[in-house]
C-alpha cells in the first residue's frame, strides 16, 4: 500500500502556521511528527467530511502529491489547523494529573470524566471546512460550536 499523502506539504504548513501565535507544540515537534500530524489530519478530513459543488455533486479530494494543484488553499489551511490541534491534544496538560484536572480538585462532589473525548475537529478547521461547503460528521462533537470542553 502506498504511503498516504497529506493535503499540504510540510513547507506550506510551516509557512502558514508560522504566522500564528500559540504554535509551541508545532514548532517543538520534529519534521516526522509534523508530517505524521498532517497525514493524520488529511485522513480524518477524508474520512469524516463530505464536499459538494454548486450542483450538489459530491467532490472527492484525494491528493496525488503534497503540492497537488487540485487541492484548494482553504483545505490546506484546515489541514494545518487540524494537525496543530492533534499535536496540542497529544500534549494536553489535563490528562496526566489525577487530582487537579483543569482546576477541578476531587472533593467528593466534583469529578472529571476521564472518558470524555474532545471533538475530532478543531473549531478553526471545522469553521473553514463548513464555510467552504463541507458536511463535517464529527462523532465527538458535543454540540458546543466553539469546540470548548464540556463541563462535566
What pTM was estimated for this model as a whole?
A: 0.79
Is residue 150 situated within a structural domain?
A: no
Domain span at residue 108? 10-136
Is residue 1 situated within a structural domain?
A: no
In 3D space, the residue among 5, 12, 4 whose CA is nearest the CA of residue 81 turns out to be 12
Is residue 19 situated within a structural domain?
A: yes
Instruction: Extract the runs of DSSP E, i.e. beta strands, from the chain.
Output: 49-52, 58-59, 100-101, 104-105, 135-136
Domain total of the chain: 1
From first to last of the 152 residues of the chain, give the pLDDT tens digit: 678 999 999 999 999 999 898 899 999 999 999 999 999 999 999 999 999 888 889 999 999 998 899 999 999 999 999 999 999 886 655 444 444 444 455 555 555 566 667 789 999 999 999 999 899 998 878 665 444 444 44
The x, y and z cell numbers of residue 104, run together, are 477541578
Amino acid at each position: 500500500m502506498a504511503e498516504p499523502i497529506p493535503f499540504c506539504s510540510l513547507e506550506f504548513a510551516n509557512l502558514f502556521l508560522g504566522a500564528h501565535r500559540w504554535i509551541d507544540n508545532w514548532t517543538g515537534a520534529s519534521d516526522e511528527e509534523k508530517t505524521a500530524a498532517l497525514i493524520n489530519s488529511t485522513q480524518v478530513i477524508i474520512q469524516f467530511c463530505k464536499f459538494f459543488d454548486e450542483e450538489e455533486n459530491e467532490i472527492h479530494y484525494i491528493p496525488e502529491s503534497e503540492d497537488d494543484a487540485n487541492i484548494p488553499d482553504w483545505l490546506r489551511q484546515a489541514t494545518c489547523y487540524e494537525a496543530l490541534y492533534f499535536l496540542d491534544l497529544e500534549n494536553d496538560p489535563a490528562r496526566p494529573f489525577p487530582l487537579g484536572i483543569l482546576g477541578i480538585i476531587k472533593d467528593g462532589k466534583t469529578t472529571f470524566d476521564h472518558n470524555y473525548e474532545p471533538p475530532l475537529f478543531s473549531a478553526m478547521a471545522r469553521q473553514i471546512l463548513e464555510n467552504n461547503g463541507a458536511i463535517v460528521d464529527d462523532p465527538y462533537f458535543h454540540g458546543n460550536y466553539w469546540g470548548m470542553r464540556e463541563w462535566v
